[in-house]
Amino acid sequence: MDEMTIKMIIAICYVVFAPLIGGLLDGIGRQISARMQRRVGPPLLQPFYDLGKLLHKDPIHVSPSQNFLMLTYLFFVILTGGMIFLGMDLLLAMFLLSTAVMFLYFAAVVTGSHYSAIGAGRELLQMVAYEPCVLLTCVAFYVVSGSFETADIISGNISPIAYMPGVFVAFVFILTIKMRKSPFDISTSHHPNQEIVKGITSEIGAKNLAVYTLAEWYETVFLMGMVAMFVINKNPWSILAAVLTAFVVYFLEILIDNSSARVKSELMIKLSWTVTLVAAGGNLLVLMFMFG
């Protein structure tokens, strides 16, 4: 098989299997969280049971345009991951992911609900917090590999993380914001004990909530794929190291989520920008000196 065929197979596998992997990671995360809190916790497949329950509920939506907006949000999230696994332009993929978040924002504000509007505004604040780091990460990959193409980034002799440890630290830091986990889950919370009203997801309806859940699973796999990009090189064994690294990072996010209280948006932006400037920005300056 030629290279393009292999890339297409990988992208199709992402579209088909990412929800399964994302749902399993969600189930594993719930069980780990329960063990941390000395609870039995739900079954491993509970996220799939919850998704099935949502899909079998009557279709209720506050605004007729909400269905279109939520499906478009899901489409752009899938497209973003598909581009990454096809080996295409990383910077363009991240711009598409930002576009997806805007459709989620509009799906919340069209409801007319004050709770959804507040959650939508907080989602934009989260974008303000993490987007600078995302941009610097893309630039750092370009400086190291000479290309924004993910296929070129992972085909080097040395893993990018060897040149980008600061960028990696900053990216893992903003993952907590991107995955909407404590202490930065200001737009919506995964923990029912933290708030009664669910922020940006307050008024999207059962089936649209299922769409949102699927999009989160796709996005989780995509983000773990981004983590893996820091480790993968032309050595096939690096793929195993990348998978292990992604699992360690995912466990770290769960640990932070269960040991941190929510902070205010001002502190979230201040912390994320500080880490981005010091870790990612400093690392990028060194890379510019090395490869300039």
pLDDT, block means (10 residues), the chain with 292 residues: 75 90 93 88 90 83 83 94 88 92 90 83 92 95 92 91 96 93 81 60 82 93 94 92 95 90 90 96 92 73
**Which residues are CB-contacts of 175 (< 8 A; sequence separation ≥ 6)?**
223, 227, 249, 253
**Which residues are CB-contacts of 184 (< 8 A; sequence separation ≥ 6)?**
126, 129, 176, 177, 262, 263, 268, 272
**Which residues are CB-contacts of 30 (< 8 A; sequence separation ≥ 6)?**
41, 42, 46, 47
Helical axes 3-36 vs 237-259, angle rounded to 10°: 30
- The residue behind tokens 């959650």 is 119
pLDDT at 195 (0 to 100)? 52
Cβ-contact 87, 149 below 8 angstroms: yes
pLDDT in tens, 196-255: 456 777 778 778 889 999 999 999 999 999 999 999 999 989 999 999 999 999 999 999
pLDDT at 138 (0 to 100)? 94
Nearest CA to 73 out of 212, 251, 247 is that of 212
Q: For the chain, what's the residue count? A: 292
pLDDT at 111 (0 to 100)? 81
Cβ-contact 104, 201 below 8 angstroms: no
SS3 category, 149: strand
Nearest CA to 130 out of 77, 71, 190, 179 is that of 179
Cβ-contact 218, 74 below 8 angstroms: yes
Nearest CA to 178 out of 230, 108, 226 is that of 226
State the Cα–Cα distance between residues 65 and 70, nearest whole angstrom: 9
Nearest CA to 15 out of 69, 86, 73, 66 is that of 86
Cis before 42? omega within 30: no
